Amino acid sequence: MIDYNPKAWFTFIFRIHKADTVRKLFPMFIAIGCYSAVVALLELKVLHLSDIAEWKNIVFVHSVLGFVISLLLVFRTNTAYDRWWEGRRLWGTLVNNSRNLALKLNAMVPASNTASRDFFRIMIPNYAFALKNHLRNKYLPEELEQGPGMEIDEKKHVPNQIAGQIIAHVNDLYRKQQITGEQLIILNDELQAFTDVCGACERIRNTPIPFSYSVFIKKFIFFYVMTLPFGYVFTVGFLIIPIVVFIFYVLASLELIAEEIEDPFGFDANDLPTDTISANIRKHVAEIL
Amino acid sequence: MIDYNPKAWFTFIFRIHKADTVRKLFPMFIAIGCYSAVVALLELKVLHLSDIAEWKNIVFVHSVLGFVISLLLVFRTNTAYDRWWEGRRLWGTLVNNSRNLALKLNAMVPASNTASRDFFRIMIPNYAFALKNHLRNKYLPEELEQGPGMEIDEKKHVPNQIAGQIIAHVNDLYRKQQITGEQLIILNDELQAFTDVCGACERIRNTPIPFSYSVFIKKFIFFYVMTLPFGYVFTVGFLIIPIVVFIFYVLASLELIAEEIEDPFGFDANDLPTDTISANIRKHVAEIL
Amino acid sequence: MIDYNPKAWFTFIFRIHKADTVRKLFPMFIAIGCYSAVVALLELKVLHLSDIAEWKNIVFVHSVLGFVISLLLVFRTNTAYDRWWEGRRLWGTLVNNSRNLALKLNAMVPASNTASRDFFRIMIPNYAFALKNHLRNKYLPEELEQGPGMEIDEKKHVPNQIAGQIIAHVNDLYRKQQITGEQLIILNDELQAFTDVCGACERIRNTPIPFSYSVFIKKFIFFYVMTLPFGYVFTVGFLIIPIVVFIFYVLASLELIAEEIEDPFGFDANDLPTDTISANIRKHVAEIL
Amino acid sequence: MIDYNPKAWFTFIFRIHKADTVRKLFPMFIAIGCYSAVVALLELKVLHLSDIAEWKNIVFVHSVLGFVISLLLVFRTNTAYDRWWEGRRLWGTLVNNSRNLALKLNAMVPASNTASRDFFRIMIPNYAFALKNHLRNKYLPEELEQGPGMEIDEKKHVPNQIAGQIIAHVNDLYRKQQITGEQLIILNDELQAFTDVCGACERIRNTPIPFSYSVFIKKFIFFYVMTLPFGYVFTVGFLIIPIVVFIFYVLASLELIAEEIEDPFGFDANDLPTDTISANIRKHVAEIL
Amino acid sequence: MIDYNPKAWFTFIFRIHKADTVRKLFPMFIAIGCYSAVVALLELKVLHLSDIAEWKNIVFVHSVLGFVISLLLVFRTNTAYDRWWEGRRLWGTLVNNSRNLALKLNAMVPASNTASRDFFRIMIPNYAFALKNHLRNKYLPEELEQGPGMEIDEKKHVPNQIAGQIIAHVNDLYRKQQITGEQLIILNDELQAFTDVCGACERIRNTPIPFSYSVFIKKFIFFYVMTLPFGYVFTVGFLIIPIVVFIFYVLASLELIAEEIEDPFGFDANDLPTDTISANIRKHVAEIL
């Protein structure tokens, strides 16, 4: 995620940021500009269609369908943003549960049992790091702090193994009567939250918007922009070239941004700062336990 | 569900995918194209209505109601997508609960009790498979792993029977004091989640959008498209034929896609990958228990 | 609720279904058609207003406000649909809780205690039937299965009495030590869900959209449609008659459908199939217990 | 809240109800009508601006911004309605919890302990009455039923005191071993719901929509309506007077209704029927305990 | 937050409030006014472009894209408002939990144990104050009431330390058997809510809308407003100057307000009254304990 000051309008408007859609779409701008120029030349200079009113009037299609395309892009934007924001909320839940689990264990586990305290101080943040990399289809053992008896089988589901060891350790403490049954019940919310967050993040990553919508929106934008010059060339002449490019910029940008934030766990410029969040969990848990 | 790379614009725009609405609507395109041609011929060549301003001006109806139709389609799209996404979330919940239940049972059930461990390793994934087929009105015993004492009566509600056996087994362990009362409480969330997920999926499958809306939207699209040529023929001539087809394509596609994703548990191209999810549950539970 | 196949476009478009708004609004269509005809005659043939540009130009009001009316109808449609869908979700919750309660009790209550098992097999579905009729302001004792000691006072809140007997019976089992304290805790979610569902259904039934909106939308539609012919008569002549009728059909239909689904527990064509759901609960609970 | 039959269109359209915005806005209608008349006179008769095309063309501003104003009003309507509906849901939660608490206590408290039963029968409904008046900044001791040992200090937070006494009484029963620890746990949901409902209602009452939006929407409506006659006077002549009044009616009504339902706990015509709900709680709790 | 009477329309419309966007945007108004004047002069007086129809017709771009910009601003407004309202709800949750915790502890902790009662009376409100300042990146020890054994390390996460001490104290009471295991379970909801609220507030503060949207909306508004005079100058002449300023006022205001309320925990005029809420928590907890 890019850290930015939302109130700095000036730099926003004039700087072309690395993640800016202007940069990504630039080749398309040129292609579409040329295309519009060719259409304009053909219609105005070669075919001299301008006196045929029929061609002039097809502009109405674009205003009728302009409405539909806008609403579709709003739908696209909303659903993509909802995933991004749900992903952020899930990582917030992970932060909260890590902290709460540490706070509770700190109050429950006898101060003398340093082995267990060390175990939890190491393993709770490890879950966040393992999940972060799991969502990027990676396994980076160097990011996991080593604890006694921690064995991770890279080929199995890594976060599940860490959660399993934490749950097993808590049940162990219960069996050894270091924590009571009531304390076990109290710890349950946090223990099951780990896997819930993991499953929900996997769901967001694996389920883009239904294929049909994705295809339909792209087809629609394409035909909409490609047919724009046919009619409008007669009303605005060669000014059609920058106009088509600008309209394409607006429509395609919305689709591009939606694609990027739809899966918020990767390395894209707008993705969630899961690295920072994981590091913060490690820091705060260490402060507590 | 179709796996796809949302960033591959080119193939999207030019390939006609199997699930593409273009394919399904093609016969209608031809019918509507012919209809428009007939209307155009009648009005322009036979009746020579073009000099009667009244017919020309009815186009305003289409711009006034174009707004209403767009908003209705947005409503339709949103509600259909919400069901699809809720279905996905429910299956995510099933994944989470299967994992959490396995993780907890692994920590609680004594390692020596291999019979119970085997039972749960078999039955938890069986629930997912049974539910998947139940939502498709099928019963495929070959997909269920056989466990000791598992008896399924095909004529009764199959997922309920599996959930019942899991719940009974857990209570049995409790009665035999292999798990304590507090552990029983902790397992409760996951045990009741099975039936909650099942009921919610049945609700989505059995409850399409209210009949009146479904009828109204279809009637509205039909009349809107059928009356389009009457007025616009005078302004765009025979270009009306591709225009009406294109507008019909846009409006009917949205309704078609909504119909398809509204019930997300079947075999349609956009339906949820419940087969894969069930297989994943079996794999992950086997890793844990 | 009408069971239908959402993919059968043809019958939808051409059949006038019993619940179709076309049927309900038909008398209004004739009245409004006549009104438009009178306005058209007056303005065109009697007063010869057509050359006064001022009257021609008031059409802009309809396009400005057409936007507002569309958004209001969307608001109306969304809130009505949300109630309908919330009602459906509540009955889904009732299904889930009835099943879960039966599954748990089946696992907990000793097989020898057939009296209690009979009691729950009878009373759990009775709650659904009682609630269904309560939401329709009825009391149909013939739909309730009779159990030992079941006494219903028709003048008091019927669902509350059934819930009270179920809760009392469970606490009785606890007092007699047929179920343990931990099992009592586990049953709590389902026991309190009955009353929660009941209260939420009563809320939906008793609280239509705020009066002011209801009045405002109806006033607005009325004035909008009534003033339509004034301006447009000059541009489309007597074609105004079908046009006004069609626009009225669209706007009034949305309001009518919203009114119907807003209270989804009655006997309207689009209402929820609470009879079927109740019968299903009885069937499934009998399978389990 | 006004009880009404949403299907009685006729009375809605022609009766000017007490809460109708027509009534409240009537003085403004006259003022704005006069203003429009003056503008029309000045432009058409005094300054003879009509031949200056520039003034004629500023109407485009109103169509561009008409869109923005509509969307803002939709935002305003949605947020106000959400508060109203959340308020209703909260009172529904209060109803459910009062009933559930009574049902559970009825099953748990020994029949012999009439003192406790009386206490709860009196105090549970008292909470609803106290909250209702608290949300209106009142304290009406005559609405509270008197119970043994009930002492309310008017200067402190009244609902908190009642909730405190209920919670203390339940813990007392526990200490006296009239209810067990597990039963105490089961009662917890309902006991803490009282204060949760109270806090949420206070939040809705104390937090109108952000000041900036409130100011912005009002400023925008004002300038929009005030500048309407400038341009349109040339196209519709003196018909501008009713038109401006009507457009003002539509826009201001939406803002007025939103203001009224935003704080739904007062005495406005559209406010929630908290008096009736409180009385119902008293009635139903008395039936149960 | 500004306390205001939402029904005082007059002062709203004519007073320029301190937080009013008119005040903030005033310099921009002048700059944009000058810019429009220069464009108008150039096109009308210097270049005499007015007879070239092409320039006149580019206005259609603004009406096509006006729709897109409106929908984007609605998206922006909704997401910003959602954060603001979620922030308010979180602080409401903090209020409810503080009260409920005090009410429960009051009923559970023996009246003789004044040390514990004092501890909770001091520490519960301290959490609210610490959180409030933490969200503003401050540490104001003078706002925290001093209790016995309260040691805060300014360099660590302050709210976590206070929550940790509260949780530790409750577990201590449990270990000393001043509260039972069941009572410990009942207190759990409130104890973990502190950290949940804190984490969710941090999430809102640290996560503005994705960078790409923020940039895109600002770029879009800028180009939209800057290109407005090119086409419209020919239709409205020098009236374009106030028109462009007004349209800029509307569009930029929405973005400005959204920026302000997006992070609702600071000192902006529309921010949440966290100071007042914290003081209220202190007052009400003191009344209870």
Q: C101-116: per-residue pLDDT in tens?
A: 999 999 999 989 999 9
pLDDT of D9: 65
Q: Between A74, A167, A215, which is nearest B103 by CB?
A: A167
Task: Choose the mutation target among E4, E12, E251 for the interface with D, i.e. most D CBs under 10 Å.
Answer: E12
In this structure, what token pair is assigned to residue E64? 């096509």
3-state SS, chain E, equals CCCCCCCCHHHHHHCCCCCCHHHHHHHHHHHHHHHHHHHHHHHHHHCCHHHCHHHHHCHHHHHHHHHHHHHHHHHHHHHHHHHHHHHHHHHHHHHHHHHHHHHHHHHHCCCCCHHHHHHHHHHHHHHHHHHHHHCCCCCCHHHCCCCCCCCCCCCCCHHHHHHHHHHHHHHHHHHCCCCCHHHHHHHHHHHHHHHHHHHHHHHHHHCCCCHHHHHHHHHHHHHHHHHHHHHHHHHHHHHHHHHHHHHHHHHHHHHHHHHHHHCCCCCCCCCCCHHHHHHHHHHHHHHHC
Q: What are phi and psi for residue E93, nearest 5 degrees?
A: -60, -40
A·B CB contacts under 8 A: 159
Q: How far apart are CA D83 and CA C215, in angstroms?
A: 20
Is D38 inside a domain boundary?
no
Side chain identity at residue E18, one-letter code: K
D·E CB contacts under 8 A: 158
Pick A237 or A98 by higher pLDDT: A98
Place of tokens 């945007």: E25
Whether residue C216 and residue D253 make contact (CB cut-off 8 A), yes or no, is yes
| Closest to C216 (Cα-Cα) out of C28, C69, C29 | C69
In this structure, what token pair is assigned to residue E147? 């209790």
Query: In terms of CA atoms, which chain E residue is nearest residue A62?
Result: E64
pLDDT of D213: 87
Q: How far apart are CA A154 and CA A160, in angstroms?
A: 11
Whether residue C243 and residue B61 make contact (CB cut-off 8 A), yes or no, is yes
What torsion, rounded to 10 degrees, do the Cα atoms B164, B166, B172, B174 define? Answer: -120
Is C38 inside a domain boundary?
yes
Q: How far apart are CA D214 and CA D166, in angstroms?
A: 41
Whether residue C199 and residue D246 make contact (CB cut-off 8 A), yes or no, is no
Three-state SS at A151: coil
Q: Between C64, C203, C212, which is nearest D247 by CB?
A: C64
Chain centre distance of CA B13: 24
In chain D, what residues touch E281 (CB-CB under 8 Å)?
Answer: none
Is C56 inside a domain boundary?
yes
Q: How far apart are CA A187 and CA A189, in angstroms?
A: 6
Q: Which of B76-85, D17-26, D229-238, E225-234 has the highest mean pLDDT?
A: B76-85
Three-state SS at C107: helix
pLDDT at E197 > cutoff 80: yes
In this structure, what token pair is assigned to residue D10? 């006729």
pLDDT of C117: 92
Pick C2 or C130 by higher pLDDT: C130
Q: Are residues C166 and C177 in the same domain?
A: yes
Q: Which chains share 3+ C-beta pairs under 8 angstroms with D?
A: C, E
pLDDT in tens, C181-215: 999 999 999 999 999 999 999 999 998 888 888 88
pLDDT tier at D53, thresholds 50, 70, 90: low
Length of chain D: 289
Is C139 inside a domain boundary?
yes
The shortest C-alpha distance from A58 to chain E (Å) reads 14
Q: How far apart are CA B42 and CA A261, in angstroms?
A: 52
pLDDT of D6: 59
Quote the number of domains for chain E.
Answer: 2
pLDDT at E14 > cutoff 70: no
pLDDT of E70: 84
Average the pLDDT over A242-253 and give the result.
89
Whether residue C210 and residue D261 make contact (CB cut-off 8 A), yes or no, is yes
CA atoms within 13 A on the CB side of A157: 21
Q: Between B61, B174, B192, which is nearest C189 by CB?
A: B192
pLDDT tier at D237, thresholds 50, 70, 90: confident
pLDDT of D231: 80
Q: Which of C205-209, D67-71, D232-236, E177-181 has the highest mean pLDDT?
A: E177-181
Q: How far apart are CA B187 and CA B181, in angstroms?
A: 10
| Closest to E60 (Cα-Cα) out of E240, E230, E217 | E230
Three-state SS at A62: helix
The predicted complex's ipTM stands at: 0.91
Q: Which chains share 3+ C-beta pairs under 8 angstroms with A?
A: B, E
Whether residue D64 and residue E66 make contact (CB cut-off 8 A), yes or no, is yes
Is B133 inside a domain boundary?
yes
Work out the angle at residue A170's Cα, subtended by the Cα atoms of residues A164 and A174, and round it to the nearest 5 degrees: 140
pLDDT of C50: 60
Q: Are residues C94 and C193 in the same domain?
A: yes
Query: In terms of CA atoms, which chain C residue is nearest residue B227?
Result: C243
Q: Are residues E35 and E169 in the same domain?
A: no
Q: At what angle do helices D211-236 and D240-262 cross, to 10 degrees?
A: 170
Cβ burial of C96 (10 Å; 0-12, 13-18, 19+) is buried
Q: Are C259 and C80 in contact (CB under 8 A)?
A: yes
DSSP label at residue C22: H
Is D35 inside a domain boundary?
no
Whether residue A58 and residue B239 make contact (CB cut-off 8 A), yes or no, is yes
pLDDT in tens, E26-63: 888 899 999 999 988 888 777 776 666 667 777 777 87
Is C15 inside a domain boundary?
no
Q: Are residues C132 and C26 in the same domain?
A: no
pLDDT of D11: 66
Domain around C40: 21-83+209-262
Question: How does the average pLDDT of chain A come out, rounded?
Answer: 86
Q: How far apart are CA A272 and CA B9, in angstroms?
A: 25
Whether residue A210 and residue B250 make contact (CB cut-off 8 A), yes or no, is no
| Closest to D1 (Cα-Cα) out of D288, D265, D281, D286 | D265
Alpha-carbon radius of gyration of chain A = 27
Q: Are residues E72 and E171 in the same domain?
A: no
pLDDT of B266: 87
pLDDT tier at C99, thresholds 50, 70, 90: very high
pLDDT tier at D58, thresholds 50, 70, 90: confident
| Closest to D271 (Cα-Cα) out of D141, D43, D88, D50 | D88
Q: How far apart are CA C71 and CA B259, in angstroms?
A: 24
Q: How far apart are CA B265 and CA E135, in angstroms?
A: 44
Is A83 inside a domain boundary?
no
Work out the angle at residue D74's Cα, subtended by the Cα atoms of residues D71 and D78, and round it to the nearest 5 degrees: 145
Task: Mark the ranges of chain B whose per-residue pLDDT is less than 50.
Answer: none
Question: How does the average pLDDT of chain D come out, rounded?
Answer: 86
Sign of torsion over alpha carbons C246, C251, C255, C258: positive
Q: How far apart are CA A12 and CA A4, in angstroms?
A: 10
Chain centre distance of CA E198: 15
DSSP label at residue A289: -
Whether residue D107 and residue C192 make contact (CB cut-off 8 A), yes or no, is no
Long-range contacts at D166-173 (CB < 8 A, ≥ 24 apart): D166/D120, D166/D123, D166/D124, D166/D127, D166/D191, D166/D194, D167/D191, D167/E103, D167/E104, D167/E106, D167/E107, D168/E106, D168/E107, D169/D116, D169/D119, D169/D120, D169/D123, D170/E107, D171/E107, D171/E108, D171/E183, D172/E107, D173/D109, D173/D116
Average the pLDDT over D173-184 and give the result.
92
Average the pLDDT over A235-245 and give the result.
86
In chain D, what residues touch C156 (CB-CB under 8 Å)?
Answer: 287
pLDDT in tens, E148-164: 777 888 889 999 999 99
CA atoms within 13 A on the CB side of C230: 18
| Closest to E159 (Cα-Cα) out of C42, D84, A287 | A287
Q: How far apart are CA E289 and CA E286, in angstroms?
A: 6
- Residues 40-99 on E with a CB inside 8 Å of D are 59, 62-63, 66-67, 70-71, 73-74, 77-78, 81, 84-85, 88-89, 92-93, 95-96, 99
pLDDT of B15: 66
Phi-psi region of A149 (alpha: psi -120 to 50; beta: other; left: phi over 0): left
In this structure, what token pair is assigned to residue A287? 């402060």
Q: Are residues E37 and E166 in the same domain?
A: no
pLDDT of E9: 64
pLDDT in tens, E124-133: 999 999 999 9
